[in-house]
Structure 1
Amino acid sequence: MNDTETKKTHADLLEEIKKGGHEKYHQKNKEQGKLFARDRLKLLLDEGEYIEDGIFANCAAGDLPADGVVTGVGKINGKTVCFMANDSTVKAGSWGKRTVEKIIRIQETAEKLACPIIYLVDSAGARITDQVEMFPGRRGAGRIFYNQVKLSGKVPQVCLLFGPSAAGGAYIPAFCDVVIMVEGNASMYLGSPRMAEMVIGEKVDLETMGGAKMHCTVSGCGDVLAKTEEEAIEYARKYLSYFPGNFREKPPAAAPKLPANFEKTIEEIIPKNQNVPFNMYDLIDRIIDEGSFCEVKKLFAAELITGFARIDGQAVGIVANQPRVKGGVLFHDSADKAAKFISLCDAFNIPLIFLADVPGFMIGTQVERQGIIRHGAKMIFAMSEATVPKLTVIVRKAYGAGLYAMAGPAFEPDCVIALTTAQIAVMGPEAAVNAVYANKIAQLPKEEQQAFIEQKRQEYREEIDIYKLASELIVDDVIEPNQLREVLTARLHAYSSKYMVFSERKHGVSPV
């Protein structure tokens, strides 16, 4: 064989591998609205060639091009990233021995390069025929999850879930920082509906048990629900723009922008009555750079808002109560949501802004049985451990343990700023008067009760007056609501050099 024939054979082999699996599987993907793995990478990565490793994996098998996974190094927003992308046209994206080895190696590359890694998941799970080679050993599938834990907090890990992530493979999204799921196609589950029926007698469809919508609204395993693959990929690119390449770097700044223009000011959107709800998104939009909000877990535990944004070009993480949903009361799910987000921001040096309007944690038999004390402790634990700049804003009420969870004064925030509308107390005036004077009220003639209640409520309001708390140095500043963006901008710049070690130890023991 001469050189020309060798080159032609090499080129033909490469072309064949890059086509992926049989045409009928490509057609099936099209019918489901799914893109080919290599086309997904073209959308995700900056223009230009990416470096691919292991393209000839299992090429001798003939029907396993690249062994069903594309791995390599490319760029997103001009920054180096590693990636792995399951090819669902090859044995439904299932894992064989070399598939697993390729994933492990690209994780090791991400650690060496100290760069983010993106998992483009669309896999039926393990190939049973390869189980001895790919499942139990030291470089078996378990090593993938071990590596994810090792990389956690070192480099950003992003999961784009385009199809199934079955059985043990479901732990790839579980160990990622963010999971973006495509509605209608993405799913994750430990046992399929067929297995559930066989083993426990439960009849259930895939969407109900492990579909994208369920995981993004009920279980919390999904963070973002995208309507299309293109939307999912666009979100991933935006998400990464707030992050440094690794934990040693600071998040990248962007050109500052003013907030969008609105008819009403912050002062005008906050009701004077503490018990009248308002939309916290309206306040967020008035303090952040226009168009910069990148929300995480929007559909899960909506009584708490978490997301990334920019203020004067600086990346920040926002944790905000949402009075419009359940009154902004904290539940076990919202506590979990906050804990994960706070930990993520702290790991990658993203300052945190807490916007508090919280009546406290939910009470009652049901939430106690759901472990609200443990889950609430988890939120407080994560917030306490965070050493990035923490700026606390008391928008309206901050009652009971809700004050603690939202980075109250005792938890070393860099500042506690109260708006003129703020109240800080163990409980609100209504509950306090009922708790303290219930017997006295019951003894009064009915015609005198209301006047007595109003008098005691007013006395209580005077006791918790925000200027009185400021005079005791409980809060660092009281500002007009319309000054908030200006004050946050100045303080973010002032705290940008902050460095502290929370505690000298091996690690804390999380309450959950």
Structure 2
Amino acid sequence: MEETKSTLTKEKGIDQTVYEKIQEITTSANRPYYAKMKDIGKMFVRDKIKYLVDEDSFEVEDGLFARCKDEDFLPGDAVVTLVAKINGQPVAIIANDLTIKAGTWGKKTIEKIIRMQELAEKRKIPLIYMIDSAGSRLNEQFETFTDRRHAGKIFYDTARLSGLIPQIALVFGPSPAGSAYLPALCDFVVMVNKNASVYLGSPRMAEMATGEKVSMEEMGGARMHNTVSGLGDMLVETEQEALDAARKYLSYLPQNWLKTPAKVEAKPPVDGKRIEELVPENQRIPMDMYPVIERIVDKDSFFEFKKLYAKEMITGFCRIGGRSIGIVANQSKVKGGVIFPESAEKAAHFISLCDAYNIPLLFLVDLPGFMVGSKVEKEAIIRRGARMLSTVANATVPRIAVIVRKAYGAGYVVMSGASMQPDACIALPQAQPAIMGPEAAVNAMYYNKIQSIEDPAERQQFIQEQREKYNDDINVWSPASELYIDDVVPGDRLRKDLIQRFDLYSQNRDVLEGIAQKKTVVRRG
């Protein structure tokens, strides 16, 4: 039946109503607060999403018209929830809209967030939270706090999704009170310097409750969380940098725990000195591990994780021969590379993250062991060190340990030494695995003898002789001769060996190791 002109006009009018509502909800032009945001370098929520997703991406948005009939102007109830493509793969996005009631959570905000979490779980796709919210609306607390599908379920879902799908928190602004746990439960947290803040109680609340006077930065600022608390994994200066970081981070990970990261075309490492030149034979000379990493990994592929926290331990993603790899390395230029409570926790978090998403692990070992003293005992070095040890022992991804130089005591063990059953424990010719270094060992074994030698010169000569003898006993050839380590590798052959070994150890792994249904929870502490 031929449609009449009046019917067509009517239908066009109905459609136009929809488009007008969409325009009203999605534009920044009707947001008075937007001008102030621009002045401090903040982007409109939909501009952030547009910047992040692929240029030709589809967008499936649910809940766009939430609360569109309310008397108050509450477009989307202050949150955007949609699915779009990043790096060619679908990703779920939950983004607070700071221009509406300071991005606070209302009754439909929470329902939209929960529904998007549920969709991400069903579709097994990564989830990005763009956090910029003043918390929950107190005037709506009865409808948002107590029931099974109220705010607490957001944290329940985030915790349950850990290790199933990658979860990223981009903290652009405040995340106070209970909502502070949202980034804390995510795998990877990026914070914008001077704008982001995460805290359970504001400085004003702290002063009222305890009398403490503290600034916002000291209480929960981005830099504090990246350098002191360890809640932040990356500190950036702009919102664009945070979005770029999320995109790059996802390039190293699979869509979910059942898949493996995509292998890309390999690139040669950066030009530079040979590893033999970078690694001093003298164990007492501090060594910078970063140039060694650069000579192993594909050019420009190293993506550091928690760079500003516990710098004596280096963690980060890279590609070696095009394969996504997680690196855990000691940095002897900082605190001698000794493991402190913070560095043990940092490593454990990163190792569990790699294990959850099937990313092989490379350990680069150069450390004298764990820190000792009453201070670190009070800071739970045993408990936090055991957490790292347990995480290494239970990791089921391919693991290779390279003893670069010294590998003493429990430090050798926790850095995936041979007794932790890695796929391979290999060494550079400069390697020196032992219970302790020559200075401590000679002092322990010959303390009484040393004290009995009265002549200072004679005493020093005895000490030096015993140290040299001890050094001869713990050089790399002793454990190699006894098959305690699997191979001694020249520095200029290390990258090639690692590529071949990771290719070998990655084959048929789920079947061979009986781990097809294993799930790893990603834990920060």
TM over 0.5: yes
1:108-129 CA-partner distances (Å, limit 9, x unpaired): 0001100100001100000001
Alpha-carbon distance in 1 for matches of 2:264, 2:143:
47
Give 1:175's aligned residue: 185
Q: Give the number of equivalent residue pairs.
A: 510
1:123-171 CA-partner distances (Å, limit 9, x unpaired): 0000001111111110011101111111110000011111111111111
> Is contact 1:70–1:86 with CA below 8 Å preserved after alignment?
yes
Give 1:6's aligned residue: 14
Alpha-carbon distance in 1 for matches of 2:176, 2:94:
17
The answer to whether 1:410 aligns with 2:419 is: yes
Unaligned runs of 5+ residues in structure 2 are 1-8
Equivalent runs, 1:271-290 vs 2, <5 Å: 271-290=280-299
The answer to whether 1:17 aligns with 2:25 is: yes
Q: Displaced runs of 4+ in structure 1, greater than 4 A?
A: 501-508
Q: Quick one: which amino acid aligns to residue 17 of structure 1?
A: I
Alpha-carbon distance in 2 for matches of 1:192, 1:401:
41
Moved more, 442-451 or 95-104: 442-451
The answer to whether 1:71 aligns with 2:81 is: yes
Alpha-carbon distance in 1 for matches of 2:491, 2:146:
59
Alpha-carbon distance in 1 for matches of 2:94, 2:270:
38
**SS of alignment partner, residue 98 of structure 1:** helix
1:502 Cα deviation from its structure 2 partner = 7.1
Residues 1:494 and 1:52: Cα distance change in structure 2 (over 3 Å): same
1:355 Cα deviation from its structure 2 partner = 0.2
Alpha-carbon distance in 2 for matches of 1:310, 1:288:
6
1:465 Cα deviation from its structure 2 partner = 2.2
Alpha-carbon distance in 1 for matches of 2:229, 2:160:
25
Give 1:391's aligned residue: 400
1:29-62 CA-partner distances (Å, limit 9, x unpaired): 1112100110000011111341110000011124
1:22 Cα deviation from its structure 2 partner = 4.7
**SS of alignment partner, residue 411 of structure 2:** helix
1:183-226 CA-partner distances (Å, limit 9, x unpaired): 11111011111111111111111111111100001000000001
**SS of alignment partner, residue 362 of structure 2:** strand
Residues 1:386 and 1:56: Cα distance change in structure 2 (over 3 Å): same
Residues 1:119 and 1:301: Cα distance change in structure 2 (over 3 Å): same
Q: Quick one: which amino acid aligns to residue 192 of structure 2?
A: V
Q: Quick one: which amino acid aligns to residue 3 of structure 1?
A: E
Q: Quick one: which amino acid aligns to residue 304 of structure 1?
A: M
Give 2:472's aligned residue: 462
Alpha-carbon distance in 1 for matches of 2:326, 2:33:
41
1:343-369 CA-partner distances (Å, limit 9, x unpaired): 000000000000000110000010000
Give 2:51's aligned residue: 43
Q: Which has the higher contact order (CA 8 A, sep 6+)?
A: 2
Alpha-carbon distance in 1 for matches of 2:501, 2:520:
30
Residues 1:380 and 1:21: Cα distance change in structure 2 (over 3 Å): farther
Give 1:492's aligned residue: 502
Q: Quick one: which amino acid aligns to residue 359 of structure 2?
A: I
1:211-269 CA-partner distances (Å, limit 9, x unpaired): 1100001000000001111111111101000010011101111110000111x211001
Q: Quick one: which amino acid aligns to residue 26 of structure 2?
A: K
Q: Quick one: which amino acid aligns to residue 160 of structure 2?
A: K
2:122 to 112, 121, 125: 112
Alpha-carbon distance in 2 for matches of 1:411, 1:435:
26
Give 2:5's aligned residue: none
> Is contact 2:193–2:238 with CA below 8 Å preserved after alignment?
yes
The answer to whether 1:344 aligns with 2:350 is: no
> Is contact 1:82–1:117 with CA below 8 Å preserved after alignment?
yes
The answer to whether 1:334 aligns with 2:338 is: no
1:511 Cα deviation from its structure 2 partner = 13
The answer to whether 1:437 aligns with 2:452 is: no
Q: Quick one: which amino acid aligns to residue 170 of structure 1?
A: A
1:83-109 CA-partner distances (Å, limit 9, x unpaired): 100000000100011000000000000
> Is contact 2:63–2:76 with CA below 8 Å preserved after alignment?
yes
Give 1:317's aligned residue: 326
1:20 Cα deviation from its structure 2 partner = 5.2
Alpha-carbon distance in 2 for matches of 1:343, 1:501:
18
> Is contact 1:416–1:477 with CA below 8 Å preserved after alignment?
yes
1:450-472 CA-partner distances (Å, limit 9, x unpaired): 11111111221122121111111
1:257 to 260, 267, 275: 267
Alpha-carbon distance in 2 for matches of 1:449, 1:116:
64
Residues 1:247 and 1:503: Cα distance change in structure 2 (over 3 Å): closer
1:422 to 412, 427, 431: 431
**SS of alignment partner, residue 486 of structure 1:** helix
**SS of alignment partner, residue 83 of structure 2:** strand
1:227 to 233, 237, 246: 237
Q: Quick one: which amino acid aligns to residue 137 of structure 1?
A: D
The answer to whether 1:190 aligns with 2:207 is: no
The answer to whether 1:84 aligns with 2:94 is: yes
Give 2:40's aligned residue: 32
| Percent of aligned pairs sharing the same letter | 53
> Is contact 2:362–2:399 with CA below 8 Å preserved after alignment?
yes
**SS of alignment partner, residue 24 of structure 2:** helix
Alpha-carbon distance in 2 for matches of 1:408, 1:32:
49
Q: Quick one: which amino acid aligns to residue 363 of structure 2?
A: F
Give 1:307's aligned residue: 316
Alpha-carbon distance in 2 for matches of 1:477, 1:464:
16
The answer to whether 1:473 aligns with 2:494 is: no
1:446 Cα deviation from its structure 2 partner = 2.1
Give 2:370's aligned residue: 361
The answer to whether 1:374 aligns with 2:379 is: no
Give 1:94's aligned residue: 104
Equivalent runs, 1:227-246 vs 2, <5 Å: 227-246=237-256
Q: Quick one: which amino acid aligns to residue 359 of structure 1?
A: P
1:427 Cα deviation from its structure 2 partner = 0.5
Alpha-carbon distance in 1 for matches of 2:143, 2:21:
26
Give 1:130's aligned residue: 140
Q: CA RMSD in A?
A: 1.8
Alpha-carbon distance in 1 for matches of 2:420, 2:444:
28
Unaligned runs of 5+ residues in structure 1 are none
> Is contact 1:377–1:511 with CA below 8 Å preserved after alignment?
no
Residues 1:161 and 1:21: Cα distance change in structure 2 (over 3 Å): farther
> Is contact 1:21–1:90 with CA below 8 Å preserved after alignment?
no
* TM-score normalised by structure 1 residue count: 0.97
The answer to whether 1:143 aligns with 2:153 is: yes
Q: Quick one: which amino acid aligns to residue 458 of structure 2?
A: E
**SS of alignment partner, residue 10 of structure 1:** helix
1:21 Cα deviation from its structure 2 partner = 8.3
1:8 Cα deviation from its structure 2 partner = 2.5
Q: Quick one: which amino acid aligns to residue 41 of structure 2?
A: G
1:423-454 CA-partner distances (Å, limit 9, x unpaired): 01110001100111111011113231111111
Alpha-carbon distance in 2 for matches of 1:240, 1:502:
24
> Is contact 2:349–2:524 with CA below 8 Å preserved after alignment?
no
Alpha-carbon distance in 2 for matches of 1:459, 1:394:
21
> Is contact 2:164–2:519 with CA below 8 Å preserved after alignment?
no
> Is contact 2:97–2:103 with CA below 8 Å preserved after alignment?
yes
Give 1:152's aligned residue: 162
1:172 Cα deviation from its structure 2 partner = 0.9
